[in-house]
Amino acid sequence: MADRKLIAVVGATGAQGGGLAHAILDDPTGGFVCRAVTRHPASEKAQALKSAGAEVVQADLDDVSSLEEAFSGAYGAFCVTNFWEHFSAEKEKAQARNMTDAARKAGLSHVIWSTLEDTRKLMAPGDNRMPFLQEKYRVPHFDAKAEADSYFAGLPVTYLVTSFYWDNLYTFGLGPKKGEDGSYTWVFPMGDKRLAGIASEDIGKVAYGIFKAGPAYIGKTVGIAGEFLTLDRMAFMLSKALGIRIKYQAVEPDAYRSFGFPGADELGNMFQVYRDFEKEVVGARSADLASVLNPSLLTFDEWIGKYKSRIPL
C-alpha cells in the first residue's frame, strides 16, 4: 500500500470518475489506490466503491477546505465538474478553481482536468449563427471548462478533452423516439457530419492510462474519442443491433434550440458546433491515442452490444 500512488477521484460515483475508480480497483497490482471523493459517502454508489476496495472521503466542490482534505497526501487527482447539475458556467469555473487551489496546497504530482474546447474561438464575436448563452458563452459547458484550463497552469496537469457519451442515449433522454406508426426517429441538428463519440466508462480508463504513463502526459492536452460516425451510420448500426427501424432526422439547430426541454439551447449550440466545425472538433480528438491509453476502448458497435438493454424504446 505504502508504495502505491493514491489518486483522489472527483466524480468517482459518476460516469467519468467511476470509469477511473473501477480501472484502479480492477488492477490491484497496477501501483495505484483509489480515494473516491463524494458528497454522499453513505450513498449506494459510494458504498459499492468502498466494498470494492476504495477509500471513500466526503468533499464538496463548493467547499475548498473539504477538497484540501480530500487531496491531502495524494499523488494525483482526477478533476471533473458536473455542469448538468446546476447549468451554470460561473459555478463550474468556481468549482474548478477550488480544485486547483486544493491541488496546489496538497502539492500533487499529477492532476488530470476533464475539459472541453472554447467554442467561442471557432466563431468571430459578431457571428450570429447561434445565440450567446449566459451572456458570453456559445456552449457554456464547453467554454467554462476551457476558461478553467488557465487555473491549472503551473500545476503538473494533463488536459483531457472528452467526447459526447454514447451513454446519453439512456442517461440523457437522447435516444430514438417511437412514432405512431411504430418506427423510430432520431433527431439531431448534425446534418451529415460525424459525431465524436465515446463510451463514458472509457474516459476514466484513458485517465488511468495517463496516470500510469507517469510524466509523459504532464503539460499535454489529450483529446479522445471512441469513434467518429455520422448519425445516419449510427442509426443504421443501432437499427441492426436492436432489430428495429431507426431513422435519423436532421433538423436545423434553430429548430432544436426551440424544443424547450431544459438545456435545449445549450445542446442546440453544441450540436451546431459539431456540425459546422466538424473538422476542428474531430481533429482535436484521437481514437488511436485513446486506444493506446486504454486498450479496451469500445467501438460504437461494442458499446451497443454492452449497453443496448438500457436504451429505452
Ligand X SMILES: NC(=O)c1ccc[n+]([C@@H]2O[C@H](COP(=O)([O-])OP(=O)(O)OC[C@H]3O[C@@H](n4cnc5c(N)ncnc54)[C@H](OP(=O)(O)O)[C@@H]3O)[C@@H](O)[C@H]2O)c1
Residue type, 196: A
Residues 30-49 that bind ligand X (CB under 6 A): 38-40, 43
Are the CB atoms for 49 and 56 separated by under 8 Å?
A: yes
Could you tell me which stretch among 5-13, 219-227, 242-250, 303-311 binds ligand X (CB under 6 A)?
5-13
How far is residue 86's CA from residue 270's CA, in Å, rounded to a whole number?
17
| Site map (CB under 6 A) of ligand X, residues 116-155, x = contact | -------------------------x--------------
C-alpha cell at 291: 486506444
* Residue 61 is a binding residue for ligand X (CB under 6 A): yes
Q: By C-beta, is 140 or 209 nearer to ligand X?
A: 140
Going by C-alpha positions, the residue among 91, 82, 104 that lies closest to residue 15 is: 82
Q: By C-beta, is 29 or 261 nearer to ligand X?
A: 261
How far is residue 146's CA from residue 163's CA, in Å, rounded to a whole number?
14
Going by C-alpha positions, the residue among 10, 23, 45, 82 that lies closest to residue 204 is: 23
- Binding ligand X by CB under 6 A: which of 84, 220, 254, 306? 84
Nearest-approach distance from CB 72 to ligand X, in angstroms: 16
Residues 154-183 that bind ligand X (CB under 6 A): 162, 164-165, 168
Residues in the chain: 313
* Residue 72 is a binding residue for ligand X (CB under 6 A): no
Strands 227-230 and 194-198, by their bridges, are antiparallel
Q: How many residues bind ligand X (CB under 6 A)?
A: 26
Q: By C-beta, is 10 or 222 nearer to ligand X?
A: 10
Going by C-alpha positions, the residue among 46, 129, 144 that lies closest to residue 95 is: 144
- Binding ligand X by CB under 6 A: which of 55, 85, 192, 252? 85
* Residue 268 is a binding residue for ligand X (CB under 6 A): no
Could you tell me which stretch among 76-84, 147-155, 185-193, 242-250 binds ligand X (CB under 6 A)?
76-84
Residue-wise DSSP of 183-219: -EEEEES-TTPEEEEE-HHHHHHHHHHHHHTGGGGTT
How far is residue 209's CA from residue 118's CA, in Å, rounded to a whole number?
25
What single-letter DSSP state applies at residue 137?
A: B
Nearest-approach distance from CB 125 to ligand X, in angstroms: 23
Query: Minimal CB distance to ligand X: which residue?
Result: 14
Name the residues that contact ligand X, by CB under 6 A: 10-17, 38-40, 43, 60-62, 80-85, 141, 162, 164-165, 168
